Structure 1
Amino acid sequence: MSAPAIEPVRTPAPSAATGKAAASRRATPARFDTALGWSDRPGVSWALRILLCAIALGVFAAPFLTILSGAFTAHASGSSLSFLPHDSTLQNFEVAGERGIWDYFTNSLVIAGGALLLQLAVSVLAAYALARHRFRGQALILTLFMLTMMLPEEVIAIPLSLVLGHVPVVGLDLKGTAWGVILPLGAWGFSVMLLTEFMKDIPTEIEEAARLDGVGEFRMLWQVVLPLCKPALGVAGVLGFVMIWDQYLLPLIASKDPTDYTVTVALSILRTDPEVGSGVVLAGAVIALIPSLIVYLLLQRSLVTGIAAGATKG
C-alpha cells in the first residue's frame, strides 16, 4: 500500500488591494515625535511650541551674539550694543593682545590641561576603589567627598593661601607657579561621585570573567572598566574643564605677579582699565570662550550620552 502523496502548501498570491496597502504604509512618513510631544501637524500647539523654542533660543543666544557683535565693533559701548556689528574692526583684539591677553590665555591652557588630566586620573582611581571594592570607612570617605562639594571657595581661600605659601612636610612654596593652581584642582568631589555611581552599575559578571582570565587590577581598570565608562568620562571631562577654566579666586591667591594670572583674572583687569573700552573687554571674552566651545563640540556626544544614561538609571 503506497503512502498518499503530500501536496505542497501554496501561499495565495497577494491581491492588488493588499499590495496597494503595503505600498501606502511604506510611503507614509513616520511621525516626528520629540520629548515635547511635537507633532508634524500645524496647529495652535505647534505654533506655541515654535514660539517657546524661539524665546528659549533668544534668551541663550542673545548674550553670545551681543558679545560677538561688541568684540568686532569699533568704539563699542555698553549702552549701544547690538546683535550685528557696525564699523567692523579687529582693533579690539589687537589692543587686547597688547595688554597681554594671549599670555594669560596660555597660562589658562597650561593650568586647565594639567589640572584636568590630574583630576580625571584621581577621580578614576578613587571611583574604582569606591565602586568595585569594599573596605572599612568607605561611607565616611564618600561623605567627605560630598562635603567638599558644599564648601564655597571663599571659606577655604585664606587657609589654602597659607598652605600654598608653605606646603606642610615638604615646605615648598607653590605660589607663582602653575602647580599652585593645578594641585588644588586635582581632586573634585563631583567627578568622583559621578564615576563612582556609574561604575557601580557595571555587572560583576564581567569583572569575574576577566579575573578568571588572570586580569590584574590595573589591567581590569584600563581594559574592562574604563571602556564601559566613556559616557561618564565625557561628562566629567566637559564639566571639569569648564570648572577649571572658570576659576577666578584660586589663580588670584596662588599668584605672586600679574604675569601669573589666568585669562579670567585678566578680564577683570581689562574691565577696570580706563584706557580700554568695552570692545576690548568683549574681545577678551570671545578669546576666553573659544576653548570651552571646542571642548564641548569634541565631547558633546559623550556628554549627551552620559546625561541620558544617568537619567535612565534605575
Structure 2
Amino acid sequence: MRGPVARVVRVALYTLLVFVFAGPLLALLVGAFSRVPDPSRLSLVPSEFTLDNFRAAFERDVLRYLLNSFIVVGGGLLLQIAVSVSAAYALARKKFPGMRLVFLLILSTMMLPEEILAIPLSLVLADVPVIHVSLIGSLLGMIVPVAAWAFSILVMTEFMKEVPVELEEAARMDGAGELRVFWSVVLPLCRPALGVIGIFGFTMIWDQYMLPLLVAQDASQFTLPLALRTLRSDDQVGVGVLLAAALLALLPSVIAFLAMQRQFMKGLTSGAVKG
C-alpha cells in the first residue's frame, strides 16, 4: 500500500512502537528527577525538577551497593572472558577424547534455570571442594560462579572456527609457540566476538539477583539489583527514590553498550556474513 494513507499508517505504527518500548524508560528518567507524590501515577512530562531523590538514595548507601556491583562485574567479566577464550580455543582447534561430550555438557548448562542450581551452588560455595574454603559472605563468592558462561564459550568457539588455520601455520613456521599464536594471531582476529561476549557478559553479571541473594549475609555486601528489593520493601522510601536507584542500576549497562557498540555490531555482522 502506497500513498498518503500508507505514510500516515507507518508514522502511527512507528510512534506506537516508540511509545511502547521507550515509554517505560522515559517514565523512569522523568520520575527519577521529579517529585512523585502518587506512586500509582507516573508522568512522561517532567515537572518539579529535583535532585532530592538521588540525595535520599545516597543516604541509603546506594553508592556502596553500586561499588559492590562494579567490583563483582569487573572481576567476574575478566575471569569470564579469560575462561571463554581459553575454552573456545581448545574446542575450536584441539582434538581430544570426549570433546563432543564436553561440548554437550556446556550446552546443557544453558538449559538449567537458576532456581534449580541455587541449592547445589550454595552448598559448593559454603565449602569449596579441594581447598575447603567458604565464599559465603564475600564478594568473591559472587565473582567465581560467573567465571564460566556457556553462551560466551559457544560464541567464541564458533568465531574461532572461522579463523583461517593457514595463519596459525605460518606463525608456527616463523617460530611462534602455541601461546604466541593464540595471543598474537587468533585473539586479535576475534575482537568482534570479544565485543559481543563483553556486552552480554557485562549485562548478565550486572543483573544477577539470585547469586548475590545466596552469598550476601549482610547489607554491606549487597549489589545494586539486590538493594533495589530492599528499597522497594521500605515504606519510608518514596517512589522517586526507588526510580533514582533504578536509573543508577540502568546506566552502567547503557554506557557499556555505547562504549563497545562498534565491536558489538562488527561481531553481529561477521556472524551474519559467515552464516
Where on the TM-score scale, by shorter chain, does this alignment land: which range? Answer: over 0.9
**Which residue type is aligned with residue 254 of structure 2?**
L
Q: Is the 8 A contact 2:76 2:205 kept in 1?
A: yes
Residue 142 (1) aligns with residue 103 (2):
yes
| Alpha-carbon offset, residue 53 of structure 1 | 2.8
Q: Is the 8 A contact 1:70 1:76 kept in 2?
A: no
1:250-285 per-position Cα deviation (integer Å, ceiling 9, x unaligned): 001011211111000000110110001111110000
Kindly tell me: are residues 225 and 44 of structure 1, through their superposed partners in 2, closer, same or farther at Cα, counting changes over 3 Å?
farther
Structure 1 segment 163-178 matched on structure 2, within 5 A: 163-178=124-139
CA distance in 1: counterparts of 2:212 and 2:272, whole angstroms: 35
Higher helix share: 2
CA distance in 1: counterparts of 2:196 and 2:14, whole angstroms: 25
Kindly tell me: are residues 43 and 261 of structure 1, through their superposed partners in 2, closer, same or farther at Cα, counting changes over 3 Å?
same
Counterpart in the other structure of 1:96: 57
Residue 51 (1) aligns with residue 46 (2):
no
| Selected match of 2:248 from 287, 299, 304 | 287
Q: TM-score, normalised by structure 2?
A: 0.96
CA distance in 1: counterparts of 2:217 and 2:123, whole angstroms: 13
CA distance in 1: counterparts of 2:82 and 2:62, whole angstroms: 30
Q: Is the 8 A contact 2:53 2:240 kept in 1?
A: yes
Counterpart in the other structure of 1:74: 35
Q: Is the 8 A contact 2:36 2:42 kept in 1?
A: no
SS at match of 1:312: helix
| Alpha-carbon offset, residue 47 of structure 1 | 4.3
**Which residue type is aligned with residue 302 of structure 1?**
Q
Structure 1 segment 163-312 matched on structure 2, within 5 A: 163-312=124-273
| Alpha-carbon offset, residue 304 of structure 1 | 1.4
Structure of larger gyration radius: 1
Q: Name structure 1 gaps, 5 residues minimum.
A: 1-40
**Which residue type is aligned with residue 154 of structure 1?**
E
Q: Is the 8 A contact 1:149 1:190 kept in 2?
A: yes
Q: Is the 8 A contact 1:191 1:240 kept in 2?
A: yes
1:40-67 per-position Cα deviation (integer Å, ceiling 9, x unaligned): x975544444333322222221111000
**Which residue type is aligned with residue 182 of structure 1?**
I
Q: CA RMSD in A?
A: 1.4
Q: Is the 8 A contact 1:149 1:189 kept in 2?
A: yes
**Which residue type is aligned with residue 237 of structure 1?**
G
Residue 109 (1) aligns with residue 77 (2):
no
| Alpha-carbon offset, residue 312 of structure 1 | 2.4
Q: TM-score, normalised by structure 1?
A: 0.84
Q: Is the 8 A contact 2:33 2:50 kept in 1?
A: yes
CA distance in 1: counterparts of 2:195 and 2:27, whole angstroms: 30
1:16-39 per-position Cα deviation (integer Å, ceiling 9, x unaligned): xxxxxxxxxxxxxxxxxxxxxxxx
Counterpart in the other structure of 1:10: none
